[in-house]
A and B are shown apart, each in its own frame.
Chain A
Amino acid sequence: MSIEVRLFATLREGRDKKIYVDYEEGLNGNAIVEKLNIPKDEVAIFLVNGRDLALDKELKENDVISIFPPVGGG
């Protein structure tokens, strides 16, 4: 089983848009961010299935993660 990680904006530089990470028990956002070599200060928005989740919270199988750097507009 794996977890789908979607990357956006500048986080795509040098990385794929969509990455699959193998699920293992106890996996959390911090581990994902580390695995993908994303500096912590570039993670402005971390969504799990479209909802905000703290990076230290445990993930579930089949979760879909979306990570954004600081973005804005209007």
Chain B
Amino acid sequence: MYGYNGKILRINLKDRTIKTEKLDLEMAKKFIGGRGLGTKILSDEIDPSIDALSSENKIVITSGPLTGTPTPTGGRYMVITKSPLSGTIASSNSGGFWGAELKAAGYDLIIIEEKADKPVYLEIKDEKVAIKDASHLWGKYVGQTTDLLQEEHGDKAKVLTIGPGGENLSFMASIMNEKDRAAGRSGVGAVMGSKNLKAIVVRGTGKVAVSDPEKLKVIFKDSIKKLKAHGVTGEGLPAYGTAVLVNIINESGMFPTNNFQSSYFDKAEEISGESLSEKYLVRKEACYRCPIVCGRYCKTDEVEGGGPEYETIWAFGATCGVSDLKAIIKANYWCNQMGIDTITAGATIAAAMELYQKGYIKESELDGVSLEFGNADAMTEWVKRMALREGLGDKMADGSYRLADMYGAPELSMTAKKLEMPAYDPRGVQGQGLNYATSNRGGCHVRGYMISPEVLGSPEKLDRFSLEGKAIWTKIFQDLTAVIDSLGLCLFTSFALGAEDYAKLYNAVAGTDHTAESLLQAGERIWNLEKMFNLAAGIDSSQDTLPKRLLEEPIPEGPSKGWVHKLDELLPEYYKERGWSKGGIPTGEKLKELGL
């Protein structure tokens, strides 16, 4: 058995039973692992139409076959569950070291069922697994919880935990590991909170067996060489981290400002990656076996910690009209402590600001905290209130769609399938907009990162306004991303590596005989399975859309002035490329072809 440990850990929180089950290797390989395998298990074990916060929902935490192996960036894990925010499949990805530790403990994945009657945490020390009382941890911030659990279980133990956001069932709650790494999106932390599960501590001392260690050494060296030689993974990301995108996206006029009312922020320089490095950067940080080192650790006179990443800088910066980088770092810090997603948090504050600007939210509802665009001081207060569900923060905690809908103005929520879109205005980058609209988890940039060809010129430059070829590019990027997420690698490797490289790595580790084509087909299989989950959950293809503003209101100023998103022209071609019906449903023929 190579690449996989062959073991599933099944935890029932109601009965307090802990079972080790054999992993069906044939099934695992069909869906690779990680995101794919987790989706397969969730689809088989739950009815997708259930309430995401009911005890019937399950949480599947998966590693990939390359997680915990010497493969570059092989430290990732995924959380697959039904999302309370979007109602779709949720599959949130995180780096750091926790995933590799789970693998070293001897498991490929954990299935968490039912609900504990009081707060508990899970302790995994190789084959020794226990459900423990977490009453002393409940209510504690992510940092405090992590410190307390490491005091108890040793520095080498890796801690995954929710914060008060997850405990209070905030729909934007994240699951955090090593304090600052987040399985951030889709409200996965609320599902953990609904089960009274505070944390999972893992310590593993084993090693993952590899099929062909000598061959892996050669492929490993070749991959490292490619990652080091590529401008983005070898120079751009190491030098400035993801925040370097602030200026380029703004200079292109697609940096959503004031809740997408504009797409050019005249104070972008003040919140740029260059300013971050100059004023607040303490050190750079790497995840498990990562040669890219894009992580930042920043410090102000008030707080210090990991981040902020590009999307976070945007979420608390331009889209809230804020140009104070120190305030953005503080809001990021409190999101990490409270365990809430920075993108949805910032974007929801921005939507609330517009609801206030347009008179929907009244002064009397604010309890003295400003909702003016540009008010930097108020942001952290709203972050705390959304995590604790206090005052107006209780309504905001359900995300921008439910908030705006409650005030009769759902069109002011900048979401796709109720998930807040991150930092690229689809009107200025047509392929990325198609990806937002069709992504199986909603408004997400990392389900098919079309910014890479459309703006950054990798692997080749596409005209960002042109519609030509965007449907097939989007499909391929989506399928390839599903592969990377399922293998247990970081998406950033895809700037320098291609499907063929991933096939070589996977084959050397797991003894498979994949080609680039067969691996991409596995990605397509995963994509279709996610789509089928959504359809069964009642999320049909009429929800493959974008907010009205982006389809009808041209960008008012800046380099992308005058553009709207042309989804109605792109969508039919996309469905065709996917081999789906005109109504966006996978055909029987397609499902058969994919073995579903």
**Footprint of B on A, CB under 8 Å?**
6, 8-10, 12, 17, 44-45, 47, 49-52, 66, 68-74
B230 at the binding interface (Cβ < 8 Å): yes
Q: Are B458 and A72 in contact (CB under 8 A)?
A: yes
Please report B residues at the A interface, Cβ cutoff 8 Å. 230-233, 235-237, 239-245, 247-248, 251-253, 269, 273-274, 294, 309-311, 445-446, 449, 451-452, 455-458, 461, 463-464, 491-492, 495, 558-560
**Bound Cα distance A30, B520 (Å):** 39
Q: Is the CB of A73 within 8 A of B235?
A: no
Q: Which of B236, B311, B445 contacts A71 (CB 8 A)?
A: B236
User: Roughly how many angstroms separate A10 CA and B244 CA in the complex, as a whole number?
Assistant: 10
Are A52 and B236 in contact, with the CB atoms below 8 A?
A: no
| Residue from B233, B240, B449 in contact with A74 in the complex, judged by beta carbons closer than 8 Å | B449
Residue pair B558, A50 in contact (C-beta under 8 Å): yes
Decide yes or no: A73 and B231 within 8 Å by CB, A51-B559, A66-B251 being known contacts: no
A69 / chain B contacts, CB cutoff of 8 Å:
231, 235-236
A45 to B245, CA, bound (A): 12
Q: CA of A64 to CA of B388 in the docked complex: distance in angstroms?
A: 46
Q: How far is the CB of B401 from chain A (nearest CB, A)?
A: 23
Q: Give Cα A9 to B236, complex, Å.
A: 8
Name the B residues within 8 Å of A72 (CB-CB): 232-233, 236-237, 242, 244-245, 452, 456, 458, 492, 495
Q: Chain B binding site: helix, strand, loop or mixed by DSSP?
A: helix
Let me know if A52 and B461 touch, CB within 8 A: yes
Task: Choose from A10, A45, A47 the contact partner of B456 (Cβ within 8 Å).
Answer: A45
Q: Are B231 and A44 in contact (CB under 8 A)?
A: yes
Closest chain-B Cβ to A10's Cβ sits at a distance in Å of 6
CB pair B239 A9 closer than 8 Å = yes
Decide: B560 and A74 in contact? CB cutoff 8 A. no
Contact B252–A9 (Cβ < 8 Å): no
Most buried by A among B233, B248, B309, B559: B248
Contact A71 B252 (CB under 8 A): no
Question: Is there an interface contact between B253 and A8, defined as CB atoms closer than 8 Å?
Answer: no
- Decide yes or no: A71 and B559 within 8 Å by CB, A44-B457, A45-B457 being known contacts: no
| Cβ contacts under 8 Å, A68 to chain B | 247-248
Residues of A within 8 A of B231 (CB): 44, 69-70
Q: Are B235 and A10 in contact (CB under 8 A)?
A: yes
Which chain A residues border B457 with CB–CB below 8 Å? 44-45
How far is B461's CA from A51's CA once the two chains are assembled, in angstroms?
12
Do A9 and B240 touch (CB < 8 A)? yes
- The residue in chain B whose Cβ has the minimal distance to the Cβ of A8 is B247
Contact B310 A74 (CB under 8 A): yes
Most buried by B among A10, A50, A73: A73
CB-based nearest A residue for B243 = A73
Q: Can you spell out 30 A-B residue pairs with CB atoms less than 8 angstroms apart?
A: A8-B247, A8-B248, A9-B236, A9-B244, A44-B456, A45-B248, A45-B455, A47-B251, A47-B252, A47-B559, A50-B251, A50-B558, A52-B464, A66-B251, A68-B247, A69-B236, A70-B456, A71-B237, A71-B240, A71-B248, A72-B232, A72-B233, A72-B236, A72-B242, A72-B244, A72-B495, A73-B244, A73-B245, A74-B311, A74-B446
Residue of A nearest to B294 (CB): A73
A9 and B273: CB pair below 8 A? Answer: yes
A6, A8, A49, A72: most-surrounded residue (chain B CB, <10 A) = A72
Q: How far is the CB of A17 from chain B (nearest CB, A)?
A: 8
Structural contact, B492 and A70, CB atoms closer than 8 A: no
Determine the residue in chain B with the shortest Cβ distance to A18: B269
Alpha-carbon gap, A51 to B231, bound state (A): 21
Residues of A with C-beta under 8 A to B274: 8-9, 12
3 tightest Cβ-Cβ pairs between the two chains A and B? A50-B559, A70-B231, A73-B242
